[in-house]
Structure 1
Amino acid sequence: MLTVAILALPDVYPLDLSIPAHVLGTQSGYDVRVCAEDVSEVPNADIVVVPGYENPEIKPAGEYLDALREAAGRGARIAAICTGTFALAAADLLDGRDATTHWRYLEPLRALHPLVKVVENRLFVEDGNFLTSAGGGAGIDACLHLIRSDFGVAAAVEAGKEVVASPVRDGAQPQYVDVLSPVRADLSEVRSWAMEHLGEPITVDQLAERGNLGRRTFIRHFERETGYSPMRWVTMQRVLSARRLLETSDWPVDRIAAVAGFGTGSNFRAVFRREVGTTPTAYRKAHACEFTNSKR
């Protein structure tokens, strides 16, 4: 059981507070607690979430910042939603780190905290033990990312179903797009086809042909709709498919490599380590309970 302390600063945004309380509260492996005036539980939590709040240019009171620093010093993971990023920055926890916030507050964040490496137009950004996100729906994505990291893809899928949200939106996706795509650029059918053929060789030219677009036009529209290049998106889907199989089956790694579209086991291991930060075998061992429970 991992303890989660949601640090509700004064003038907290109700939506930003309710998102982690509900999304993380759906996961049985979390003990979720909301901390407001009494912050005594924050320093000892495994995960601390700071929802957005009004007037982020005003530095939070010392007891809040001290609680965040103490939690960070103990190695807790700390997540911020929307303007919650300002509290982490005010505690000097983001100096030299990548971080993001709601697009309306990017420039104020830069001005107030010049040592923070502000990343624009991303749903969420993870740097070490710190996870910062944009507002609203991106807070859901950040919470699902925490669940996926702690309990695996299958758990994130179930949590996503509970809150009727996609469990696979990566942090690198943009918060918004500046130009609306024309109707003919709707490439959802192309993505559906790719998902059904992950185990087969897939090329950009194949995808462009299925979308009835020229290669360059297809790439441009695909990136506009998803925030990723076509092959980067395919790789991400293959990794997610492999993670799910590692969690829910006892298939050999080489078989998973073939089914997920990585070809050889050695290529699969290299890509998996690069994307997930661990080996397929270690990942399976960490999430063995999912498969064990599924057989009962």
Structure 2
Amino acid sequence: MVYAGLDNPDNGAASASGKRRRRTVRDIGVVLFEGFSLLTAGVIPEVFQVANEICVARSRGDVLYDVRFYSADGGNVACSSSINVWTYACDARNAIGFDALFIVGGEGAQNAARDERVVGWLREVLPLSEVVKPIGEGRLLLEAAGVVSSGQSHSPNGWPPNPAGIADDDVHEDADRYEPAKTALMLVKRDLGIDVAREAVGRLSLNGSPIVASVLSDSSTPTRAEKVRASARWLKENCGRPISVSEAVRVAAMSERNFLRCFKQEIGVTPSEFLLRTRLEMTSRLLAETDSPIDRIAKRCGWINGDRLAKIFRKRMGLTPSEYRLRTRGSVPSDVSELKGPLTT
């Protein structure tokens, strides 16, 4: 199967007159090498493939994405997990520009940076490409081609002119997977709209990442209140995971000091208190409506273990989770905003 290519979805859409019109094609390139990271490379075609499928399902005549992999010789290239991916050859004589060019990372990046076939090809295609995204060790190839990252950040709805259109990575443990997804989703959002980008995020289960969440803003210049509300939604949607307030700060794309102040003004409580109350509400419902063991509920609600849940629950509710279950079966408040007491960390 060709990922996100024209061999997959139909490249024409029926107009009102019954005639088919040509869709705009966005050319997406992904540079690979022996030992590349499949984790970083795999999410790129997935995002564009899903965007293509959504367009076809909605019978829209917008852009489609044609994703192609490139390597020094072409043919099969093995990733660090020994899985082969078919590629086109990097031929500087027939260089073309890309709407977006991704250069993946991995343990083979240093060898690839010494391969003149790849480096020479990059020197030709980089000036012709709109957006260039190095991932992790992929920066070594850019440096070998005589290009360094500008460090310039992109707005969700626009891209700077070349050659400064080199997207800079955020420093985060999930960046290798989510940064390329973020860049791909920014293109999808620009070309097809935020609804398609959101649906793609949902289908690919990427909504747990604060890096990706920052793309799904309705406006390129959201107000502080909108940023805070978006971070509150993210906390509520992800409260079942061991998340931290620092991740919500990244979602809001604000300084920590401003975020904490604005969150209290907009929501009425601190982010930590909001997260704690959200988890207590979820825990209360599961205790009342299910027979799941306390330990399982604790893990599902982000408490890590039953002991931590019991300690916080007793302090806030005045009784143990087991006692609460016995007393409130079938009668659970819709929220726990009335709960009082000091914040327990």
The TM-score, its normalising length taken from structure 2, stands at 0.41
Larger helix proportion of the pair: 1
The TM-score, its normalising length taken from structure 1, stands at 0.47
